[in-house]
A and B are shown apart, each in its own frame.
Chain A
Amino acid sequence: MQLDLINFTKRFGDTTVIENMSLSVHSGEMIALLGPSGCGKSTTLFAICGIHRIDEGQLMFGGKDVAHLPSQARNVGVVFQNYALYPHMTVAENIVFPLKVQKMNRTDREAMVRKYAELVRIDALLDRRPAQLSGGQQQRVALARALVRQPDFLLLDEPLANLDAKLRLEMRSEIRRLQQETGLTAILVTHDQVEAMSMCDRIALMNGGRIVQYDTPTAMYERPETAFVAGFLGNPPISFLSGSGLGLSEAQVAQYGVRPESFGPQFGSTLSGRVTFVETQGREDLFDVRLTTGEILRSIQPAGSGIRLADTVNWGVAHDKLLRFDQNGQRI
């Protein structure tokens, strides 16, 4: 189902948190609301599911305005950051709760619980209580509970934040698998760019209560509209420097952005600098190079280059990958 948020404004008391925001999610698509903390991404999610009121604007579910409907009437499944499982109920009781509320009959209910428990692969745990489950298992229960009522949309609020690194990797693909298998339209709220880029079809990058760019992960990485987007996406992060450091001078360009992979010996030897920082990551090495102008460029290179701290290097940048920004941070 298509979701359209049109001119959405949200205030808490006198402070306007989000003003005139619009967002469209196509049917079957999974998008990420990505941004630093306090950018309004969770507020947006809560407005969509009905926990927060929509002060101004429209929220269309498949062309129907639901902005004034309560949560219960919106048919949205939500997975919360800490999973919000009901601690006094077993896994099965947790999953069946939305169906009980709908007053579905017992046999149908049980069939649905079994079906979704199998889908998220927790059918062996149905009699346990949430406290007896690992973080990953709790996450799966929360997913089953959100999916069992066959919602129009699936909203995920920082679903991976409470998992350790290994589980996070596993659940990333698991959530994407479930979304694709069920064909649901999904919105993922996260502050982790890797999650957003790896799991979603499109990313809406938010800052200060506004969407600054809404695009596919690749497009956003390669063609960021602003310096903020360029700086937010990419790890290790992009380096910004003035024209003089690169020996360039172009009208209107206030600063240049150089991705770490666009700076190194393979792009020539026009820039000279001293290595001020080396970080070995196994497969790759990360360098900070202080140019003669004092500005610092980051570079990522295959491991085994033998370059050490305080060495002087003469490297170049890939000019076709240079990002140019004007006074206001807009890309030219």
Chain B
Amino acid sequence: MRRINWLGLAFLSPALVMVTLFFLLPVVLTGFFAFTNMSTATGVMGGDYLLNTSTLRALADQGLPKETLAKLEAGGYRVDEAGLAALAAATSPATADELAQLHAGAEFSDRRDMERALKDLRANAIRNTRDRKAATELFKRSILNERFSEEAAFRAALSETGTRPELSDQITEAAFTGWVWTTDNVKLLFALPSTLRYAANTLLYVTLTLAFNVGFGLFLAITTFYLPKGQGALFRAIWFLPRILPPVLYVLMWRWFTWDTGFLSTVSGYLGMSPKNWMLDTSYHAWTAVVLINGFVGASMGMIIFSSAIRAIPTSMLHASEVDGASRWQQVRWIIVPQLAWPILFITCYQTLSLLTSFEYILLATDGGPGRSTEVWSLAAYHTALSNYGGNLEYGLGASFALVLVVIGIGASLIYFRLFNFKRLITKPLIEG
């Protein structure tokens, strides 16, 4: 029998619990939520059964027979405990007692019948018309606008209205205020023309930003490499700022730089141009801003990784090429860049995935505008489910947007796992103890 090292599991367990609850569970639940119609209206935690005028309208659109609708709407009058108690409070206990003796449990479908019952009380007749009308209302029992927390209670009430039993399923479903399972989100995703638009925007965003990240990152790494040590370090430190500064502040700096009261407008004002919002003027402006804002952040990561890769190139190799009379450009082209193939692939893979899913900087900078020209997929998911002007947040639809990204994320992670041969990282511990 092998000794099992419980220490390992004990050391791992806090992480396991947290990661499972707030990392793996959301992954799985995104999949579930994508197939619900959850929204602000349905709430998140189940729901009640309620028929109101808008439900009736929806049912009418579904082709429910007119007479059934009328029955649901009309309701009737019933002399029950609750009504009697209310009556006793409104008039006198004696009135209520007498009504109970005569009509306890009676039902009237017409308002006038109920009124007559009250008028015809022998000892305590309610003579005043207005009082009688008010008292009549106390006995009105309608399914309309009444909230049922149990489905059975709703169905019972439904059958009391005289609705045909074969229609009750349809009505119950319509009356449910909570969320239900549905595949409508996915259908909608394929049907909406905006979906294609978001996908195209995302493709554009990822391609342009990635190209900028890698190209500019290379530029920074190579140029600072050729500078004296101190100067190179200074520039690298400056270019690391976009990455280290909080996103809100970083984007704020860009806003100031580009907005109509900001730097670019002021400078162009010196040249006699009228001020304008350089970030949101046209979709070209917006795209340039989006790519630069994200690109500066991404390039600093490229810069660091490429820099350390360049420093790993044996200097003898560079010296040799200088002795061979290579110009700097030739040195970069034929010696440095080929050595960076692997880091470039690495950066490309990692940033593709993170750009595909990130929307923080776009949200803060253009919020997808102008119009929806810079609305990328992940931002669309955010807008649909978590923040829109309409107010009805469609969690289910948003989740189905997100589900696409989650699936891509898992797929890409698995591909990278193979591509970068991460398996080699899984080595056995040397102490077998």
Contact = CB atoms under 8 A, between A and B. Distances in A.
Contact of A51 (B2, B3, B432): B432
Contacts of B428: 12
* Chain A interface main SS type: loop
A213 interface: no
B187 to A, nearest CB: 50
Nearest to B5: A70
A71 B433 CA distance: 7
B430 interface: yes
A53 B428 CA distance: 13
A273 interface: no
Contacts of A53: 2, 432-433
Contacts, number: 15
Nearest to A12: B428
Contacts of A210: none
B431 to A, nearest CB: 5
A50 to B, nearest CB: 7
Contacts of B431: 51, 71
B3 A70 contact: yes
A257 to B, nearest CB: 39
A271 to B, nearest CB: 50
Interface in B402-433: 428, 430-433
Interface residues of B, number: 7
A52 interface: yes
A70 B432 CA distance: 9
A70 B433 CA distance: 6
Nearest to B3: A70
A297 to B, nearest CB: 44
Interface in A45-76: 50-53, 68, 70-71
B433 to A, nearest CB: 5
Interface in A27-57: 50-53
Interface in B378-398: none
A101 B292 CA distance: 58
Contacts of A50: 433
B334 to A, nearest CB: 40
B430 to A, nearest CB: 7
Interface in B1-44: 2-3
A185 B428 CA distance: 31
A71 B5 CA distance: 14
Contacts of B433: 50-51, 53, 70-71
A71 B432 CA distance: 10
A52 B431 CA distance: 6
Nearest to B431: A51
* B2, B3, B432 — most chain A CB neighbours (10 Å): B432
Interface in B332-385: none
Nearest to A71: B433
Contacts of B432: 51-53
A12 B429 CA distance: 12
Select the residue from B2, B3, B428, B433 with max chain A CB neighbours within 10 A: B433
Contacts of B430: 51
B203 to A, nearest CB: 45
Nearest to B430: A51
A92 B2 CA distance: 37
B171 to A, nearest CB: 66
B117 to A, nearest CB: 90
Nearest to B432: A53
A70 B2 CA distance: 11
Contacts of A68: 3
A146 B202 CA distance: 63
A145 to B, nearest CB: 18
A50 B430 CA distance: 11
Interface string B114-140: 000000000000000000000000000
Nearest to A72: B433
A43 to B, nearest CB: 11
B376 to A, nearest CB: 47
Nearest to B433: A70
Contacts of A51: 430-433
Contacts of B3: 68, 70
A68 B432 CA distance: 12
A12 B431 CA distance: 13
A171 B428 CA distance: 34
Nearest to B2: A53
A71 B431 CA distance: 10
Interface string B162-202: 00000000000000000000000000000000000000000
A52 B3 CA distance: 13
Nearest to A51: B431
B8 to A, nearest CB: 14
Interface string B92-114: 00000000000000000000000
Interface string A159-177: 0000000000000000000
Nearest to B1: A68
Contacts of A12: 428
A52 B430 CA distance: 8
Interface string B50-64: 000000000000000
Nearest to A70: B433
Interface string B283-307: 0000000000000000000000000
A226 to B, nearest CB: 32
Contacts of A70: 3, 433
A17 to B, nearest CB: 13
A12 B427 CA distance: 12
A27 to B, nearest CB: 27
B6 to A, nearest CB: 13
A61 to B, nearest CB: 17
A247 to B, nearest CB: 55
Contacts of B2: 53
B297 to A, nearest CB: 38
B428 to A, nearest CB: 8
A53 B433 CA distance: 6
A68 B2 CA distance: 9
B1 to A, nearest CB: 9
A50 B432 CA distance: 8
A50 B433 CA distance: 6
Interface in A68-96: 68, 70-71
Interface of B: 2-3, 428, 430-433
9 contacts: A12-B428, A50-B433, A51-B430, A51-B431, A51-B433, A52-B432, A53-B2, A53-B433, A70-B433
Interface of A: 12, 50-53, 68, 70-71
Given A12-B428, A51-B432, A71-B431, 12 more contacts: A50-B433, A51-B430, A51-B431, A51-B433, A52-B432, A53-B2, A53-B432, A53-B433, A68-B3, A70-B3, A70-B433, A71-B433
The 5 A-B pairs of least Cβ separation, nearest first, read A53-B432, A70-B433, A51-B431, A52-B432, A71-B433
